[in-house]
Amino acid sequence: MDSKGEGSWYKRYKDIVLALAAFLILLILVFLSGTIDNIVLFGLILFFSLLVIIKSADVFLEGATSLAKILGLSEFLIGLTLVSIGTSVPEIASTGMASFEGHANLAIGNIYGSVLVQITFIMGIVVLFCPVKIEKAVIMRDGLCMLGAVAILTIFVWPDKKLILWEAVVLISLYVIYIAYLVFYYVIWKKETPDGPGEISNGEGSKRGTILKSLFLLGFGLPLVVFGAANMVDSSAQIALHFNVDESVIGTAITAFGTSVPELIVAAVAIKKAKGLALGTLIGSNITDPLLSIGIAGVINPIEVSEVLTVFHYLIPMTIVACVLVLWFMRTNFKLTRFEGSTLVILYLITIVGLFLGWDIINFVRGTLGI
């Protein structure tokens, strides 16, 4: 095979090859961790776990978007639904695994941290490269749903610091209702057709082959994401234990950022060619995570948060502030500007600094107001 053919083959199957390579290396590292207790080794496991998650999520995402095009969905709906679910698979897997293994603080930190990093850092980076115009309907429906999803989760966990089974079921049910409404609105009422590049051929043979390929990519990507998430949770917990750092801090600063990389990649790639996909993916993921991701984790195992100061006195308030700030930016002239994008990035960096310094927003406000 000539060099051109080899390059073409590698480009076509690059994500699969990289995912398999990272998976094999991770297997070796996990095997070694059974006999060697070393913090560097756990750091390598965390790195390659994130790499497995990111690359296998890319494979899953390719299969999901291909199926979406076959079904005839618009790019914004693809972003809000299938792509946002696909890019949220790492959060769903890591949060579910953290819940299953009893690391509730890691699960909560991962969800709020994922929303925070996506709505500030990732959206800010995207807007810095290319300002985005916002439709009023996006703010009034999807933007408010994003804020509402975070608010409802907070209402459930704040009073007793727990997320029990019926609350988790409610969160999942709300997400199903939201998705059903979107499908009805775009497919049945508006009757939209695909507006993104790469339409699917009408030939039956080609269509059947594309469906089989999409299903293969979905079946290949998802198990690797789950495996990577399991090892990411284990290594994160070990690192937190070694450095005596709260699990919620690790969940926010490391795992949340790592599992949000797929959203960053999708948004960065899509912003020039399919802005609806980029915006829909970011907003959709921030609805998926506080409803579906944590809902699944709560069904697997009731979540009880012990790190009250870190989660409830800092992480949750900062996430809500970030959501409100983004909606306000969207509402001003219905456009996200580069200045607003840089403001969001700075807010994220300040938040991370405050997280490691142990800032307490609730007690600061109480002291300021004399409560």
327 in a domain, yes or no?
yes
Per-residue pLDDT of the chain (371 residues; tens, 9 = 90+): 444 444 566 666 788 888 899 899 988 988 888 777 788 888 898 889 888 877 887 787 777 677 767 766 666 676 677 767 776 777 777 777 777 777 766 677 778 888 888 889 888 888 888 787 777 777 778 889 999 999 999 999 988 888 889 999 999 999 999 888 887 877 777 655 444 334 444 455 566 667 788 778 877 887 787 787 777 767 877 777 777 776 666 666 666 666 666 666 666 656 655 555 667 777 888 888 899 888 988 888 888 776 667 778 888 899 999 999 999 998 887 888 899 999 999 998 898 888 778 788 887 777 777 76
Element (H, E) at 336: strand 335-336
Q: How far is CA 177 from CA 145, 173, 182, 236, 356, in A?
A: 12, 6, 9, 34, 38
**How many angstroms separate the CA atoms of 164 and 295, rounded?**
9
Beta bridge partners of 162: 304
Number of domains in the chain: 1
Residues 175, 178, 181: CA angle, nearest 5 degrees: 150
Give pLDDT, residue 342.
94
Give residue for tokens 């390659």: 48
23 in a domain, yes or no?
yes
Sign of CA dihedral 213, 219, 225, 231: negative
CATH, residue 307: 1.20.1420.30
Q: How far is CA 280 from CA 91, 135, 211, in A?
A: 17, 11, 24
2 in a domain, yes or no?
no
Counted residue by residue, the chain has a size of 371
The one-letter amino acid at 320: I
**How many angstroms separate the CA atoms of 309 and 311, rounded?**
6
1 in a domain, yes or no?
no
Please count the CA atoms within 13 angstroms of the CA of 68 that sit on its side-chain side.
Answer: 30
**How many angstroms separate the CA atoms of 178 and 288, rounded?**
10
Contact 134, 365 (CB under 8 A): no
Contact 117, 286 (CB under 8 A): no
8 in a domain, yes or no?
no
146 in a domain, yes or no?
yes
238 in a domain, yes or no?
yes
4 in a domain, yes or no?
no
Identify the domain containing residue 140 by its residue range. Answer: 14-369
Give pLDDT, residue 274.
54
